[in-house]
Structure 1
């Protein structure tokens, strides 16, 4: 039977396994910590933390299931790991947090993002980062990793070409294979990572951003890189998400703002104009947000899911593959029925995923590597039931 895990009114988009906190009356049940999409993969952790399942590309061991994983998989494979609190996928590496506060990673590292102490490394099964503990949240960026410790500090390791480690320096040689503390942050309650930038929300509902400025992703009215955290130019933030090259925030008053790249209308403001300062998005009754590389989703308080952005591979999930969806459009299933009772959702390169309250995992979008987990490699323009197990089963 589905166990009701409540969502705190804090901004954290991740609720750790075993948590039990009181939700506000309009909060949706949040299991986002169980489901994560990488660039060419998808992962689902069991709700009791006993294991995770992976599908898609297995280049450089990205599935995390060991030597027996073989090549690309179109149906999920089980990994031999337990005590999982959350899982988060990046481009070529993925991470999980165990209930004891340790980080485990797998896949490929170019700059030390696996946390093994080596710049270049490959791990086909999750390996422990022995350099950090007491972690409450972990996020995999493009080629770097962010960790939030229980004391409210943020730590980073991996690539630092654009200042994404937040330590006041940048450059090809400024990477770190071991965790370094992001400067100037305290009392942080939630983190997220874009391709080359980081974001952290503090207990006072202020968002701090650093790293690559892209096309205004950091919301500073410019495209400059920020080598240490600066405050995002919206106050009273409830929750947020970092896409590859853009940021979205939801305020406590219910407004959604976005900044950064707007190729194919992926900011959702009805235009293709890049925004260096936050712009208001016309959507209401939002509970939380999740941005991928090309597409973004908003979960409403009624349990429906809405998407926008590039849609050439059907990744928005509105039943079409029209190239650009510039305003929020409702996600539907393969019978053109709106998807409801969503409790978790995730987006990555050009594929997307959702978990509904009955334990069904749905996928849509690009599928050439089997990342949808439906047993074939056919693109899906609407939410389609997958072969992932029910994560709530005992």
Structure 2
């Protein structure tokens, strides 16, 4: 099984390629949670995610014949970029299979790092099947995204950095997809100090580890559905599962709504952009998915910042809705002069800001002399939303909250 010595050896191999990323104390999230929160900003890593560490370590340990034959892998995006850059820096030809619906930004970045990209399959697992076919057809070495000891060891260098930069760390919170990141980090931290707690976090829509731990064996989901595409795998790795069982203290799950809130708060309060998978650890802390003491020193590992701009727009909107900062509602007015003005006056008195109004006289769901109105509103939080709706009802409006 993977050992601390493997991680220490990996640090020397990846030092010239991977950056030692910052560990930043967050007054904001410490105040929100009562813990002492330090953010591990792996979002500042080359390629925007931790995957460059494992990819570099794996390719560096290939034989010369294997390097000459080239490498192939499958990835939703971050591992793709890590392999592409690591291979290019070492003069190794790389081919990456990505899901057909992978974010455009990640596809373009992978190509820019020097790899040829093949789009195949609905998700990571389908892309992986195609990548293995290419490995057999072309004699390339398959660089697994997580279920490989050398890949895990490379990712584990994050754990070494956390331990050395923050000797008093008590709990480290790590996202889990296939398990390579948490296997490496847990090996590094437990090798240094067995009392450091390691908490794993999965998205509810891709919770293969939680299910596997319950059954005592690797369980494969029929499908995955989450905004955290970086950890959207149908099953955990065989080797990583054994390490998780032995070295990870607890595994919890978070919803997409909770991920969206964490991502939005990071962007607004810490000026830190993360992808869905990168927000997962903080979501677990903010929504108290595991028990922790007041002032406990906690490090959420923000593992990546490669988010597609279209996805970012959707996630921000979802985060605003969940925190009561955005409201869309529908009501019915009498279709006569002044009705809309009266509605707007009530909204103005409650100090809500109107983004947009849609006025529909032709809806089949209303009387001939009525008009249906949908409003997009900027609000100030859950209490403000409740106060606004109560005020509208007091003035005789029947209100339907749409989002």
Bin for the TM-score computed over the shorter chain: under 0.3
Q: Taking structure 2 as the reference length, what is the TM-score of the superposition?
A: 0.23
Larger Rg: 1 or 2? 2
Higher relative contact order (CA 8 A, sep 6+): 2
What is the TM-score with the length of structure 1 in the denominator?
0.24
